Structure 1
């Protein structure tokens, strides 16, 4: 068994697609703008599986409430693994990405939280 697809609710799937591909470096798995459907996947060469991340429109009241509640509480909606959190923080900061703070180290590794500008906080984590 493997993870095939998961989703994250976003305010604007097209804008989220631009951020996740253009800034974060994900690759487009499927883009059907006429249906407001965008799915991204890990960039080539990351050595990970081919699970898709559906950028789910938050037009469903349940999805919108979940997305807004997580954001209001400052809780990341998803965690992305990176080889070097500090390098990603520097790279993304240089592209104007807003972070909740500086990278911090804990018993589980190094992490930092950023705002995707589409209704979510995302955590970057390094073992």
Structure 2
């Protein structure tokens, strides 16, 4: 993805809601089972709430029981970046939007085995949803 978005912190604060800012820019996490997309079953594409880049297709969304929207894969390999995260006394793989570097959530190796075995556990606050085919 070549069209990177680089805003100042003041511009991000103006563009995003306080919850979106906390998740996307401060690497926060919404409480489990509270996100607006956790139970969404509609067909469409989940976009980055920070920059509008397409991130996950509804066809890859599944109910992991974790309390956050979960996906087996991003829309393509260039949609997200994966970064080692050693915060909170554990080592995980953080998922960020490749276009604006916004924190989305984490990816874990406990997803459906028949679909690649990955679980992209994503905060609803980091997403917008575009209904469609």
Please give the TM-score of this superposition, normalised by the length of structure 2: 0.30
Structure holding more strand per residue: 1
Structure holding more helix per residue: 1
